[in-house]
Amino acid sequence: MSFNIGLSGIRAASTDLEVTGNNVANASTIGFKESRAEFADVYTSTLLGTGLKPVGSGVMVDNVRQQFSQGNISGTENALDLAIDGNGFFVLEDRGSISYTRSGIFSLDKDGYVVANNGSRLQGYDANDSGVVSGVLGDIQIQISNQAPRLTSLASSILNLNAGALVLQEQGLQLVSNGLAIGAADAGIAESTRSILSAAGQPTTAGTPATMPFATDLATVAAGAGYGAITMDIDVGDGAGAQTVTLTGLVGPTTVNAILSDVQAALDATFGSQQLTATQDTTTGALVIQRAGYNATNGTSFAATNTAAWDAAFGANSGVIAGTQGSTLFVGSTPITADFTSIPGTSTTTRTTATPTLNIVSSDAGQFAQLTADNNYSSLDVSAGGGNVLAFTIAAESGGTYPINLSQAAWLGAAPVSYNAVSITEAVAEINTQITATAGAGNEEVIAVVNGGKIEFQTQAPATQGDFVQIADNAVSSVGYSLTSLGFLSNNRFDGGVEPVLANNEFVLEVTSTSGNGGGPFTITIPPANYASLDALAVAIQQQIDVYIGAGGLAGKVTVDAVGGQLVFTNSNVGAGEGVSISGTIAEPQAAAELGLDSLFTVTGQNEVDRSNSFRINLTVPAPDSENRSGSVLISLDEEYRSVQQLASSINRQLNSQDADSYIGIQASAVEIEPNVVPPQFTLKLSATTEGEASIISITNISANGPDISAAELFGILQVNPDDSSLLVTGIEGVSNEYPEQTVTLINPDGEETEITLPLHSEGNEIVSIFNQQPGVTASALTTMNIPLSGYNSPGNDLKLTVNGQVLESTSLADIADEINNYRATTLPGFSAEISENGDLVIYNEIGRDINVSIDSAVVTDSITIQGADNTGPVVLGGSATADVAAAIGGQVTFILNEGYILANPDPVVSGIFGALSEDEFTPYVLNSFDPLDQDTYNNATSTTIYDSLGNSHVMTQYFVKEPLDATRPNEQNIWAMYVLIDGQNVGDPDPSLPFPENLDSTAARFEIFFNQDGTLDEIATGDIFITNWDPVDENGDPTGAFTSTNVLEGGIPLIDPPVNSNFQISLDGSTQFGSSFSVNEVNQNGYSTGRLTGLEIDQEGIIFARFTNGQAQTLGQVALANFRNPEGLTPVGDTGWAESFESGVPTVGSPRTASFGQIRSSALEDSNVDLSEELVGLIIAQRNFQASAKTIETMDQVTQTILNI
């Protein structure tokens, strides 16, 4: 019995291990539900019962129960991964076999069915095209083909239009310029030219003028009795022959200048200025008549006759001496230059070559050395018996030494009264005797003297001041005595005397001059001092120099400065003849050397070069010069010129530097001579900057002010010849629109006046620009030129036209029109051309630019006719060698005046672009009428994308315009107009009242919108809004192939579903007119383009949505769920699925989130509900139970074996 009980325990434990192991194995299986082994005990029973104390028979597996608790839900990236959050099972069908699962791993098969991994199809409810889900269970299939497009049949907007919006439209006036100048053709030359003054030739040097000298010194003539009205005939070679020159005459005595003035006045009165000049010969002082101006530079001579009266007054003349032409400037590899530079003179400077000492001293003779004893002398015992000896040495700076021995034995001089007590006088005498013995009489450099009871050693000649004297003991020979015995302490054995000082504080300074500006010489004495700096020393010297004032002094004529460690003396006057002389003084000749003034470096000054000059460049503008542009500029030349280009640049700098009031419109340039030569040569040219006027350019007042230049040099470089009128070519005006300067008054609604001035020859586009800057005016312009076919005469096709600077190659009017149109995007913007019905060429400029046409033909008889406005006469270009070759026509300007504005008071009247501006010249004009391209003509706009029947997108734009008040209409303040354009094109029905083919064109789709006084839309008054004339086109304007329109006259209303045309309705229901800003609250339309499937979405109710590239979403179906009364009764069938069984009961199938069904979570999966920790504990328990049951059998076996062994 025990064996069976143990075996039952092993069997139960083994089952428990199997269940637990299965749970562990499926811990990661999606949708897996864990099982639990349930056990029951076993008792053996008989008919007799179990007895009073029954023993069990073991254990048995009572049930393996499914645990359908909720597993954790984990997110995924797959929309078809589904998890049930709550009760329920997915329903699967596989070839008629139904199963149920909590595993939501689904995908699409090749047919678009939603299937599990084993191929079973997910069951649910299908949806129709409108997205309505049926209640019929079936396979869920996803539509994977493209979604068909849908034509827009309804476009709705809910808007608010601002009740306070302004009415933009107003009633104005239109004026078309109708003055006589409008459209009139002007013929002449194509381009205006400038006035040009050319030089007579290439610049040259001055040359030598032709002269006629007389003999008598003018000073003699001036001192005499004078002369009368004498005459002489002179021929200057200007073609006028000999002219008589008559002097006024002067009564002597007079002056030379008066005589020269009298002669010059007579010459100028006869020939004008710049022909002949009267001067005085610098050598003889006599009168000289010579060529002047330009003729002084080119060797032009003159002839004089009947000179007797002049010869009598001024001495016999020598005849006319021929002049020479100047040399050409700026030519060749080594060109001659023209130096007009004025160079300021420089001063002579004299500087030291070394840095002077700052210690300035005066002379000092110095002092001889004097070495005096410290103590008084008492007496000496130098007797032989006493044995004392005083021996010492005296030394002088020259090198002489004198040994002295005071002892009885060495005594040389007169004996003392007593050797036992030698007195000071006796001692000094003996010392001097021994010095003389050594040096020799007269050569003693040192002597001893008595000075107040003390012995003193003094140096003397031949020693000099500052030579030292020194004494020293002779310790070897001395016995008992030393120099101390004479009164000289040990620290008093030397005296250096005082060295003599040589002065360095004086020198002689003289200012030299060849112009009478000299000064000195004077001795400059510098105050002795140790100066802090060289600058301080220079100041001290300057102060001493400035002491000497007056005409012959030094003050103001020389300066002293410290420069670079040197003293620099500068003559205040400039020029090579101005200098500074420095030397030593007689008293102290060495002083200058001590200061370094004996070695000087002199830089000689340079004389001033004064080439001051001037001339005037004049511009005279034809009258009336209303802008005062006539004027004159004074020019000076102050460079070394190396080319005509440099000369022109110099002149231009001065011309352009003038202020606005002084500026004249002239520019200088260098022009290469023709025919060209090698090396190239250039001449000077002055050009007026303003074209088209006959202004006069001249050069006058040529003056050589400086002594180092002559007027002939200026004439030579400028090549000015006022006698040659051919050098001036005045400007000619080219063709223009001939519009005069004109003023007109613009009057605003308040009566305020603004005067507007149109400049001379203003082009149409310029006039437009001027007026468009004014409030209340809008201007536009158009220019038209007509070339009649009958007036185009070029049989050989030789005639070429140039239109506004563009040369045309075509020779027929039709080709010319095409060529002009081809240049619209490049050189002829705004131009267009066409051939009229009668074959004429018509040229337009769309912005009112002048149209300028010129012709060129090798055949002089070729010609064309130019016609402007209808009321103007034609002009003919060509036809002869002298005919006009160009014509210009101005544009016609159209003015739109806002309400209340008017133009009046034209000046001049009629002859300009305006007529008289009478009332009948103005016509009414509606301003700001709706224009979709002009934002100022509508209050608000909004756009919506709509679709044609092929799914092509188009942009519908609704424009809202506040209507003007109309007293004849009810509720006039609350009316708006709505204009509708699609792709920028009108879609209104054609106007049948228009002639063919205009009655086929689309009109503006305009609808009136009415609002009630409470701001709500008056739907009855507004009515239904339909678009019935929209024919879809692509971006190129070609039909798309979609449904086209059927207009109202063709029966396009009412709309049909499904549609058969492109007609659609616009709804504004819910729109308002409140006093707030325009707003678009809602926009919707029911069309869409074709769409490709981009993704799926499944909501919590299991509804499956398909998302398409066109932004649409479509309901495809709904996932179904099943539930059972007893889920634990379901039969596992593998693949995490279960089948219905008798114990589970029949399934209840329904929609998620209804009844007891849970919700669906997409992109998520339900994990296994196995708890691994719990299962591992269960494994341990099962193992323990297995081992315990095995132990029971083992123990029973041992008991049995023991029994058997008894």
pLDDT tens per residue across span 50-109: 555 667 777 887 888 888 888 898 989 888 899 999 999 999 999 889 999 999 899 988
* Per-residue pLDDT at 52: 59
Distance between CA atoms of residues 753 and 903, nearest Å:
9
Here the tokens at position 336 are 């001659």
Distance between CA atoms of residues 55 and 39, nearest Å:
18
* Per-residue pLDDT at 314: 95
Residue 47 clears pLDDT 60, i.e. is over it:
no
Distance between CA atoms of residues 1064 and 1086, nearest Å:
10
Mean pLDDT taken over the chain: 91
Average pLDDT over residues 286-293: 95
The pairing of beta strand 154-160 with beta strand 1064-1067: parallel
pLDDT more than 90, % of the chain: 71
CA torsion sign for 548, 549, 553, 556 is positive
With a CB cutoff of 8 Å and minimum separation 6, the contacts of 1040 are: 948, 950, 952, 1032, 1033, 1034
Residue 635 clears pLDDT 60, i.e. is over it:
yes
Q: Which residue has the tokens 């296994």?
A: 1168
CA torsion sign for 495, 497, 499, 505 is positive
Here the tokens at position 556 are 């103001």
* Per-residue pLDDT at 44: 62
Q: Per residue in 250-272, is it b (16+ CB within 10 Å) or e — as a string?
A: beeebebeebbebbbebbbebbe
pLDDT tens per residue across span 776-787: 999 999 999 999
pLDDT interval class at 284 (50, 70, 90): very high
SS3 32: coil
Least-confidence region, from 26-30, 146-150, 198-202, 724-728: 146-150
Average pLDDT over residues 1140-1147: 90
* Per-residue pLDDT at 969: 67
Q: Answer with the residue of higher pLDDT: 133 or 522.
A: 522
Residue 1189 clears pLDDT 80, i.e. is over it:
no
**Based on C-alpha coordinates, what's the Rg of the chain?**
66
pLDDT tens per residue across span 409-449: 999 999 999 999 999 999 999 999 999 999 999 999 999 99
Q: What's the distance, CA 295 to chain centroid?
A: 54
Distance between CA atoms of residues 537 and 549, nearest Å:
21
* Per-residue pLDDT at 1091: 85
Q: Answer with the residue of higher pLDDT: 3 or 339.
A: 339
Distance between CA atoms of residues 1028 and 949, nearest Å:
15
Q: Which CATH class is domain 347-362+501-603?
A: mainly beta
Residue 191 clears pLDDT 80, i.e. is over it:
yes
* Per-residue pLDDT at 1: 59
Q: Return the DSSP state at 862.
A: -
Rounded to 10 deg, the angle between the 1172-1205 and 2-25 helix axes is 160
* Per-residue pLDDT at 148: 84
Count of beta carbons in the 10 Å neighbourhood of residue 452: 8
Distance between CA atoms of residues 376 and 456, nearest Å:
11
Q: Answer with the residue of higher pLDDT: 318 or 43.
A: 318
Distance between CA atoms of residues 44 and 56, nearest Å:
7
Fold of the 930-1085 domain: Tick-borne Encephalitis virus Glycoprotein; domain 1 (2.60.98)
pLDDT tens per residue across span 678-701: 888 999 999 999 998 999 999 999
pLDDT tens per residue across span 1052-1111: 889 988 899 999 999 999 999 999 999 999 999 999 888 888 888 899 999 988 888 887
Distance between CA atoms of residues 645 and 638, nearest Å:
15
Q: Return the DSSP state at 651.
A: H
Residue 220 clears pLDDT 90, i.e. is over it:
yes
Q: What's the distance, CA 672 to chain centroid?
A: 38
pLDDT more than 70, % of the chain: 98
Average pLDDT over residues 1026-1035: 94
Here the tokens at position 802 are 């140039």
Domain ranges of the chain: 2-68+1174-1201, 73-148+1092-1166, 208-314, 347-362+501-603, 370-492, 613-729, 736-921, 930-1085
* Per-residue pLDDT at 809: 94
Average pLDDT over residues 115-130: 89
Residue 528 clears pLDDT 80, i.e. is over it:
yes
Residue 991 clears pLDDT 60, i.e. is over it:
yes
Q: Return the DSSP state at 900.
A: T
Instruction: Specify whether the CB–CB gap between 612 and 342 falls below 8 A.
Output: yes
Least-confidence region, from 255-259, 673-677, 843-847, 1111-1115: 1111-1115
Instruction: Specify whether the CB–CB gap between 6 and 1189 falls below 8 A.
Output: yes
Distance between CA atoms of residues 749 and 753, nearest Å:
10
Q: Answer with the residue of higher pLDDT: 246 or 971.
A: 246
With a CB cutoff of 8 Å and minimum separation 6, the contacts of 468 are: 369, 396, 397, 459, 494, 495, 496, 497
Q: Answer with the residue of higher pLDDT: 1206 or 1079.
A: 1079
Count of beta carbons in the 10 Å neighbourhood of residue 757: 11
Q: Answer with the residue of higher pLDDT: 812 or 625.
A: 812
Residue 873 clears pLDDT 60, i.e. is over it:
yes
Average pLDDT over residues 1139-1161: 91
Distance between CA atoms of residues 1048 and 1027, nearest Å:
9
Residue 221 clears pLDDT 70, i.e. is over it:
yes
pTM above 0.85?
A: no
pLDDT interval class at 132 (50, 70, 90): confident
Residue 129 clears pLDDT 80, i.e. is over it:
no
CA torsion sign for 337, 340, 341, 342 is positive
How would you class 913 by CB atoms within 10 Å of its CB: exposed for 0-12, middle for 13-18, buried for 19 or more? Answer: buried
pLDDT tens per residue across span 551-572: 999 999 999 999 999 999 999 9
Q: Which stretches within 208-280 are classed as H helix?
A: 218-223, 256-271
* Per-residue pLDDT at 312: 93
Polymer length of the chain: 1206
Least-confidence region, from 490-504, 960-974, 1171-1185: 960-974
Here the tokens at position 554 are 């030094």
Nearest CA to 101 among 1165, 1175, 1171?
Answer: 1165
* Per-residue pLDDT at 523: 94
Residue 970 clears pLDDT 70, i.e. is over it:
no
Instruction: Specify whether the CB–CB gap between 864 and 878 falls below 8 A.
Output: yes
* Per-residue pLDDT at 558: 95
With a CB cutoff of 8 Å and minimum separation 6, the contacts of 674 are: none
